[in-house]
């Protein structure tokens, strides 16, 4: 499909979305190579999809949430009390009683996209928060529960969660880093993504800022580059990172002031961050997450060793 602008090819979808090199099918995942062979033998698509470093596989589904102890990460996700208040306000304005509200929360992260760059690197990018949430290596996803025909019969408000296979190498902490930059206000708004030179580039709005973020894997999945272009910035572009994330981050551009990165306005259209993913996160670092994971069916406890 020829691109006429930098704006999105794909938007939100309620069904699981699987994309290979910019091609997508809703509810009917594409498979190729070894995955296609195993799928044919099993009489259907393999529940263990896998991309390649030069042909990433993207899956839109409910993903496990290994992040706890940092509620700022999910600052813009669904908040039940706000929905209840809106219903009560609407009823008051119409002189009617507010209806009884029973809110259900599906497990996992409902608005994220999983990206497989092969067994050495996978990533979870959230379309509500408009940010990279976590990365892992040693596998991708087990979609057995998600693609199970019986999943359609689950009660309202419940959804199957894919199982993450591998070991975490990065977990986002703190508020969206660019939220402290001039021009960033309100809620981030996801526009969509396109495959640019074979890799996903996400597009989103944040206040007056139009942001493009492309993810490019490093050799053997030991790093991940975030290539940014920020339009309509009224000044320097500023990122403030959580101290827990700062040691993994480097950039050839900008100036660091402790955990704050300042990108000069003249460079806002083209700069990058590199995340060091060479080491799995320490168990101590993930202790809070592990407690949550013990109650989350979306996290595999049998993590295969990462490839060297």
What are the start-end ranges of the H helices in 21-135?
A: 33-42, 80-93
The whole-number pLDDT of residue 146 equals 84
Q: How confident is the model at residue 153 (pLDDT cuts 50, 70, 90)?
A: low
The pLDDT of 253-260, averaged and rounded, is 94
pLDDT at residue 56 is higher than 70: yes
pLDDT score, position 100? 47
pTM: 0.75
290 versus 52: which is more confidently predicted? 52
Spatial neighbors of 102 by CB under 8 A, at least 6 apart, are: none
Q: Which of 63-67, 235-239, 244-248 has the lowest mean pLDDT?
A: 63-67
Confidence of residue 246 (pLDDT cuts 50, 70, 90): very high
Domain range summary for the chain, segments of one domain joined by +: 17-74+106-293
Q: Which of 22, 19, 10 is nearest to 49 (CA)?
A: 19
Task: Quote the pLDDT of residue 85.
Answer: 46
Judge whether residue 303 has pLDDT over 50: no
**Per-residue confidence band for 45, with pLDDT thresholds at 50, 70 and 90:** confident
pLDDT digits (tens, 9 = 90+) for 22-34: 333 333 233 323 3
Tell which wins on pLDDT, 71 or 193: 193
Does residue 223 sit in helix, strand or coil? strand
pLDDT of residue 282: 73
Mean pLDDT of 84-100: 49
42-73 exposure pattern, b = at least 16 Cβ within 10 A, e = fewer: eeebbbbbbbbbebbbbbbbbbbbbbbebeeb
| Alpha carbon 173 to chain centroid, angstroms | 13
- 286 near 66, Cβ under 8 Å? yes
Q: How confident is the model at residue 241 (pLDDT cuts 50, 70, 90)?
A: very high
Q: Which runs of E-coded beta strand occur in the chain?
A: 17-20, 23-26, 57-60, 112-116, 122-126, 131-137, 141-142, 163-164, 167-171, 189-196, 199-206, 209-217, 223-231, 237-240, 249-250, 255-257, 260-263, 271-276
pLDDT surpassing 70 at residue 12 = no
284-288 average pLDDT score: 39
């Amino acid at each position: 499909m020829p691109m006429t602008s930098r704006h999105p090819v794909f938007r939100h979808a309620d069904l699981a979305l699987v994309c290979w090199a910019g091609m997508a099918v809703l509810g009917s995942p594409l498979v190729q190579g070894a995955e296609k062979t195993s799928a044919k033998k099993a009489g259907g698509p393999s529940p263990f999809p896998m991309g390649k470093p030069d042909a990433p596989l993207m899956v839109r589904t409910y993903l496990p949430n290994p992040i706890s102890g940092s509620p700022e990460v999910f600052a813009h996700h669904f908040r039940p009390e706000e929905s209840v208040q809106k219903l009560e306000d609407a009823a008051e304005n119409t002189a009617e009683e507010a209806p009884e509200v029973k809110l259900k929360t599906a497990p996992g992260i409902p608005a994220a996209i999983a990206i497989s760059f092969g067994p050495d690197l996978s990533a979870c990018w959230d379309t509500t928060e408009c940010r990279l949430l976590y990365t892992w290596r040693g596998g991708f996803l087990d979609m057995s529960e998600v693609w199970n025909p019986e999943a359609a019969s689950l009660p309202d408000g419940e959804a199957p969660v894919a199982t993450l296979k591998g070991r975490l190498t990065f977990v986002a902490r703190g508020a969206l880093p660019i939220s402290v930059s001039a021009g960033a206000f309100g809620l981030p708004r996801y526009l969509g993504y396109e495959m640019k030179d074979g890799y996903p580039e996400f597009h989103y709005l944040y206040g007056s800022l139009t942001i493009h973020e492309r993810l490019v894997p490093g050799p053997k999945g030991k790093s991940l580059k975030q290539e940014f272009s920020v339009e309509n910035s009224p000044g320097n572009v500023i990122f403030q990172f959580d101290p827990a994330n700062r040691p993994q981050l480097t950039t050839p551009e900008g100036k660091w002031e402790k955990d704050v990165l300042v990108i000069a306005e003249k460079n806002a259209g083209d700069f990058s961050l590199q995340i060091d993913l060479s080491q799995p996160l320490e168990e101590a670092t993930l202790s809070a997450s592990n407690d949550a994971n013990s109650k989350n069916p979306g996290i595999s406890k049998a993590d295969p060793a990462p490839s060297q």
